[in-house]
Amino acid sequence: MNIYPVILSGGSGTRLWPLSRAVLPKQLLPLVTDNTMLQETALRLAGLPGLMAPLVVCGNEHRFLVAEQLRDIGVAPLAILLEPAGRNTAPAVAAAAHYLAAIDPEALMLVLPADHVITDVAAFHLAIGGAARQAGAGALLTFGIVPTAPETGYGYIRAGAALDGAESCYRVAHFVEKPDRATAQQCVSAGNYFWNSGMFLFRADSYLSELALYQPAIVAACEAAVRLGYRDLDFCRLDEAAFSACPSDSIDYALMEHTAHAVVVPADIGWSDVGSWSALWQVQRADADGNVVRGDVYLDGVANSLVRAESRIVAVIGLQDLVVVETRDAVLVAHKDQVQRVKQVVAHLEAQQRTEHLRHTRVCRPWGYYEGIDAGERFQVKRITVNPGGKLSLQMHHHRAEHWVVVRGTARVTCGDSVKLLTENESTYIPIGMNHRLENPGKVPLHIIEVQSGSYLGEDDIVRYEDVYQRA
Residue 320 contacts residue 338 (beta carbons within 8 Å): no
- Burial (CB count within 10 angstroms: exposed 0-12, middle 13-18, buried 19+), residue 19: buried
Within a domain: 258: yes
Give me the percent of the chain exceeding a pLDDT of 70: 99
On whether both 185 and 289 belong to a single domain, the answer is no
On whether both 155 and 245 belong to a single domain, the answer is yes
Q: Is 372 helix (H, G, I), strand (E, B) or coil?
A: strand
Please identify, among 223, 252, 271, the residue that sits at the C-terminal boundary of a domain: 271
pLDDT tens digits, 254-296: 999 999 999 999 999 999 999 999 999 999 999 999 999 999 9
The DSSP code for 298 is E
pLDDT tens digits, 169-214: 999 999 999 999 999 999 999 999 999 999 999 999 999 999 999 9
Lowest mean per-residue pLDDT among 161-165, 337-341, 435-439:
161-165
Q: Average pLDDT, stretch 341-346?
A: 96
Q: Which of 133, 254, 135, 118 is nearest to 197 (CA)?
A: 118
pLDDT tens digits, 92-149: 999 999 999 999 999 999 999 999 999 999 999 999 998 999 999 999 999 999 999 9
Question: How much is the mean pLDDT over the chain?
Answer: 95
Is 4 a residue whose pLDDT tops 90? yes
On whether both 341 and 368 belong to a single domain, the answer is no
On whether both 287 and 195 belong to a single domain, the answer is no
Number of folded domains in the chain? 3
On whether both 112 and 145 belong to a single domain, the answer is yes
Characterise 368 by phi-psi region: left (phi > 0), alpha (psi -120 to 50), beta (else): left
Is 167 a residue whose pLDDT tops 90? no
Is 165 a residue whose pLDDT tops 80? no
Predicted pLDDT at 13:
77
Q: pLDDT-derived band of residue 14, with 50, 70 and 90 as boundaries?
A: confident
On whether both 159 and 307 belong to a single domain, the answer is no
**What's the CA gap between 229 and 102, in Å, rounded?**
14
On whether both 265 and 285 belong to a single domain, the answer is no
On whether both 454 and 325 belong to a single domain, the answer is no
pLDDT tens digits, 46-105: 999 999 999 999 999 999 999 999 999 999 999 999 999 999 999 999 999 999 999 999
Question: Which residues of 120-254 form beta strands (DSSP E)?
Answer: 140-145, 156-162, 170-176, 193-203, 230-232, 235-237
Within a domain: 355: no
Domain that holds residue 422: 362-466
On whether both 172 and 117 belong to a single domain, the answer is yes
CATH assignment of the domain containing 151 = 3.90.550.10
Within a domain: 354: no
**What's the CA gap between 193 and 170, in Å, rounded?**
11
On whether both 262 and 285 belong to a single domain, the answer is no
On whether both 25 and 134 belong to a single domain, the answer is yes
Within a domain: 63: yes
Is 29 a residue whose pLDDT tops 90? yes
Q: pLDDT-derived band of residue 168, with 50, 70 and 90 as boundaries?
A: confident
Sequence-distant (≥ 6) Cβ neighbours of residue 343 within 8 angstroms: 14, 15, 17
Sequence-distant (≥ 6) Cβ neighbours of residue 418 within 8 angstroms: none
On whether both 173 and 46 belong to a single domain, the answer is yes
CATH assignment of the domain containing 431 = 2.60.120.10
Predicted pLDDT at 12:
77
Within a domain: 472: no
Q: Which of 92, 103, 104, 111 is nearest to 221 (CA)?
A: 92
User: For 455, phi and psi rounded to 5 degrees?
Assistant: -80, -20
Number of other CB atoms surrounding residue 157 within 10 Å: 28
Q: To 5 degrees, how large is the angle CA 234–CA 239–CA 241? A: 150
**What's the CA gap between 315 and 302, in Å, rounded?**
10
Q: What is the pTM of this model?
A: 0.92
